[in-house]
Structure 1
Amino acid sequence: MTEIYRGRRLSVELNRFTLPDGTERERVVVKPGNAAAMLPIEDDHCYLLRQYRFAIGAWIYEAPAGTLEEGEDPIETARREIIEECGLAAGEMIPRGFIYTTPGFSDERVYLFEARALSPSSAFSPDDDEQIEVVRVPLADLPAMCRDGRISDAKTIALAFRCLG
């Protein structure tokens, strides 16, 4: 392994490896660190973020999420991020597995949680580079929003499937 780049939250490596058939290859692997995402659900509604994403130059709807800090358990990340991004505390975090975001070139895992027993928190504090609007969405609208493209964020689509069945 040769490290090509190391930033604050991301590294890029050049790896040499052997495929199951014995063929040797070389590939770049992006290592952004793992994350946790949650779908806050209250009665017959959920909360999403309408957030501007510089990388795609657009506003999108997505579930709150954040990067795990060094040594942090995914559920603790989820508890911290829902407060910071939504201004909500969750009395219950139900694990819904994890997803690999882009396994063709990255090892990133996003741990998924269903957040219930919500209560207001005064600790709403988005990062300096985040522009966020918290949006209350009827749960009944979530599948259609995923199907018709209003929600195009992969972790949010996975959460809708995992939390609503």
Structure 2
Amino acid sequence: MKESLPHMKKPSKHLEEETLSTESIFQGKVVSLQIDKVRLPDGKTATREIIRHPGAVAVLAIKDDRIILVDQYRQAMGRCELEIPAGKLEPGEDPMEAAKRELVEETGYTCGRLELLHSFYTSPGFADEVIHLYVAHELQEGDAAPDEDEFVELLELTMEEALEAISQGRISDAKTLMAVYAWKLNKLTGEFRV
């Protein structure tokens, strides 16, 4: 059993905000936006803009000591980004099944086993999106089948090439940075962890 760190304390109830009202602003295919009016711990009120997202999955896949990435144009960034295979969860979809689906769709690879590395919030200050990051084991090549509005190019980089892509800003999204550093830690310790 893990012991608690002495300097860590349980979440502080006295910091919580009370939701007074919620106004739906936008309902899209992927996200929705709402404005919450909240009561602050000091009794004053404030507004919070919140993006609701169904969640997503991402897959760290290593084949022959190379990380499998896709190069994809990202409209929000205004440029292409090298990323690990990833995608949003469908309503009620099991994250592990979604990870298998996304790996095949974007890269053509299937895997014999997936291991959950970690689930994390992407931007908790304004969004509830959670990404479930998996490591794929026992990879087998196949044919990719991207969504009709998804245009990707497959790349396989060595550790050195991935680190160079980070230093050049070609890899700059959180899930891929986390995956590359988890891979690097694995090479040093023999364990996958974040």
Gaps of 5+ in 2: 1-21, 186-194
Distance between the aligned counterparts of 2:41 and 2:94, measured in 1? Answer: 32
Partner in structure 1 of residue 133 of structure 2: 112
| Aligned mates of 1:64, 1:18 — CA distance in 2 | 40
- CA 1:21–1:63 in 2, change beyond 3 Å: closer, same or farther? farther
* Contact persistence 1:52–1:130 (CA under 8 A): no
Determine the C-alpha separation between the residues in 1 that align with 2:55 and 2:132: 8
Moved over 6 A (4+): none
Normalised by the length of structure 2, the TM-score is 0.78
Structure 1: tracts of 5 or more residues without a match:
none
Matched residue type, 1:88: Y
| Partner SS state of residue 71, structure 2 | strand
More strand by share: 1
Task: Please give the alpha-carbon distance, in whole angstroms, between the structure 2 residues aligned to 1:121 and 1:16.
Answer: 50
Task: Work out whether residues 49 and 63 of structure 1, in 8 Å CA contact, stay in contact via their aligned partners in 2.
Answer: yes
For residues 144-163 of structure 1, the aligned pairs below 5 Å read 144-163=164-183
Q: Which has the higher contact order (CA 8 A, sep 6+)?
A: 1
Aligned residue in 2 for 1:143: 163
Q: Deviations over 1:48-104 (max 9, x none)?
A: 001111222211101110101111111111000000000000112111112211112
The TM-score with structure 1 as length reference comes to 0.90
Contact kept in structure 2, 1:96 and 1:163, CA below 8 Å: no
CA distance in 1, matches of 2:42, 2:133: 33
Q: Specify whether residues 150 and 22 from structure 1 end up closer, same or farther in structure 2 by C-alpha distance, changes over 3 A only.
A: same
Structure 1 vs Structure 2 CA RMSD: 1.6
Amino acid in the other structure paired with 1:134: L
The amino acid across from 2:110 in the alignment is A
Contact 2:54 2:91 in 1 (8 A): no
Residue of structure 2 in register with 1:37 after alignment: 58
Greater CA radius of gyration, 1 or 2? 2
